A = this chain, B = another copy of it.
Amino acid sequence: MPIDGNMAELSAVLLRDSCSCPYCVHESTKQRLFSTADIPANVHAREITIDTTSNSVYIKWENDAPGYGSDHQTTLSMGALRNLTQSGRAPGLHKDSLPVPILWTQEPLNLPDYDYGTYMKDDHALYQLINQLSTEGLAFVTNVPGREESLATIATRIGPVKDTFYGHTWDVRTVPAAINAAYTSHDLGFHTDLLYFQCPPHVQLLHCIQSASSGGASVFADGYKAAVDLFHTDMDAFDALASIPVNYHYNHPDSNVYHTTKPVIDLKPLSIGDKKINWGPPFLAPFSNHEDPVELGRGNGAVLSTLNEKVDRWHSAAVKFNALLQRPEYLYERKMKPGECVLFDNTRTLHSRRAFDMADVGKPRWLRGTYVDKDPYLSRLRVLQNRFG
Residue A67 interfacial (CB < 8 Å) = yes
Would B378 and A258 count as touching, CB distance under 8 A?
yes
Contact residues in B for A308 (Cβ distance below 8 Å):
9-11, 14
A36 touches B318 (CB 8 A): yes
Q: Do the beta carbons of B386 and A36 come within 8 Å of each other?
A: no
- Chain B nearest CB from A257 CB (Å) reads 4
Tell me the smallest distance from the CB of A219 to a CB of chain B, in Å: 15
Check if A338 is an interface residue, CB within 8 A of chain B: no
Which of these, B33, B41, B303, B322, contacts A85 with CB under 8 Å? Answer: B303
Residues A198 and B375 in contact, CB atoms below 8 Å apart: yes
| CB-based contact B288/A35 at 8 Å | no
- One complex includes copies of this chain to the number of 2
In the assembled complex, A321 has its CB within 8 A of some CB on chain B = yes
Report Cα–Cα, A316/B355, bound state, in Å. Answer: 62
The answer for the CA separation of A180 and B259 in the assembled complex, in Å, is: 47
Q: Check: A311 CB closer than 8 A to any chain B CB.
A: yes
B199–A375 touching, CB < 8 Å: yes
Which chain A residues in 200-219 approach chain B with CB under 8 Å? none
Is A233 in the interface zone, CB < 8 Å from B?
no
Write out, one digit per residue, whether chain A residues 148-174 have a CB within 8 A of any chain B CB (1) or not (0): 000000000001111111001000000
Interfacial residues of chain A within 111-164, with CB under 8 A of chain B in the complex: 159-164
Instruction: Mark interface residues in A27-46 (1 if CB within 8 Å of B CB, else 0).
Output: 00011111111110100000
Additional A-B contacts beyond A11-B307, A37-B281 (5; CB < 8 A):
A14-B312, A41-B319, A85-B304, A86-B293, A263-B271
